[in-house]
Structure 1
Amino acid sequence: MTDATALDVALAYHRAWTGHDFEAAMQYVADDIVCQSPGGPIEGAEAFRGFMEPFSKILLESALLSAFGDETTALLMYDTRTVPVADAPGAELLTVHDGRITHLRIIFDRLPFTQAAAADAQ
């Protein structure tokens, strides 16, 4: 894994979690990952798992729209369809060292998820 570019790692991670194999996805995540999410910072692999794994479980499908990268940084943009939200686009900026994701900045619109949760609560 250490000879892989950041784009290679990012794509392998993305294929794993969107393919419903979260254990395989976590193989690409550093123990000390820092994730900047719309809800605030998430630090450490277990906290990251707690944030991302539930999303992977409600994912119905994902389409990768674009991917760019170099030796240490990758950028992915994708569309997702989930159980509560039909159209949930996202983007991730990933930093990779020694074949593991050490930093991930994820961007997505939280409002449709909040609205879906509120509608379910009624």
Structure 2
Amino acid sequence: MNALNIVDAYFAAWRADAPDQLEPLLAEDISVKGPLGRIEGAKEYRQALSWLFGITRDLVIVKQWVDGPDVLTWFDLHANDEEPVPAVNWLRVEGGRITRVRVAFDPRPILPSDAA
């Protein structure tokens, strides 16, 4: 599979609320950075995504750009009854697995009200 196919499978798992489907897609030493923190390792990332997948009502991909092993995806995250949260996700794919994730979005609309 090429980088875009792997990224599309990542987003399909998200839409399906199926973090276990990520196992063949993620490198064991994946590095993740975003507004909710930093994560090192596939197991920890799958656990963190379980929460995010669970609150997602819909995820609409607006645009994707591919540059070799890098895929940048602009999407709208629908997580509650508020307006969708615009987000950008930069995934690097090496050796058929996602090795790096960089994400940017305003997390306040999706955080519990006592955490925002």
Residue by residue over 1:98-120, the C-alpha shift from the partner in whole angstroms, topping out at 9 and shown as x without a partner, is 11000000111012234x5239x
Larger radius of gyration: 1
| Cα 1:32/1:84, change in 2 over 3 Å | farther
Q: Deviations over 1:31-79 (max 9, x none)?
A: 1100011133210011112221101011111111001113311001111
Output the amino acid matched with 1:58: I
**Root-mean-square deviation over aligned CA pairs:** 1.9
Q: Residues 70 and 33 (structure 1 numbering): CA distance in 2 closer, same or farther, change over 3 Å?
A: same
The code of the aligned residue for 1:108 comes to F
Give the 5 Å matches for 1:1-122.
4-83=1-80, 85-114=82-111, 116-118=112-114
Count of residue pairs brought into register by the alignment: 115
* Shift in Å, 1:84: 6.3
1:15 Cα offset (Å): 1.4
Q: Please give the alpha-carbon distance, in whole angstroms, between the structure 1 residues aligned to 2:104 and 2:24.
A: 22
Residue identity over aligned pairs, in percent, reads 28
Gaps of 5+ in 2: none
Q: Scaled by the length of structure 2, what TM-score is found?
A: 0.87
| Higher helix residue share | 1
TM-score w.r.t. the length of structure 1 is: 0.83
